[in-house]
Amino acid sequence: MAKNKKITIEGAEITVLSQDADDYISLTDMARSQLKDVVIIKWLSLKSTIEYLGEWESLYNPDFNYTEFGTIKNAIRINSGDLIFK
């Protein structure tokens, strides 16, 4: 069973999820400690992030909608790092 614990690094609380013999550090908590939600919003708007999330979903989500994802992926273009729908 997964267990959560918190560590503090330079005043920021970071969640660590322990599952079996593996530990997972929350990138969300790390990003929030730096520039609040701006870092997360920027990361989510990158084309490479969208592609990564699509790959992740295709591997681990048996109900992944490839058609809808293809529509979203093909509709984006990058303009100064921001996600823009045509």
Is the model more confident about 80 or about 67?
A: 67
pLDDT tens digits, residue range 29-77?
A: 877 776 666 767 777 778 888 888 999 999 999 999 999 998 888 777 5
Q: Could you give the C-alpha distances from 32 to 10, 26, 29, 37, 44, in angstroms and in order? A: 13, 10, 5, 6, 14
Q: Which runs of E-coded beta strand occur in the chain?
A: 3-9, 12-19, 22-25, 76-79, 82-85
Measure CA 71 to chain center. 20
Asked whether residue 86 carries a pLDDT value surpassing 50, the answer given is no
Look at residue 37 in the predicted model and tell me its pLDDT.
Answer: 64
The pTM of this model reads 0.49
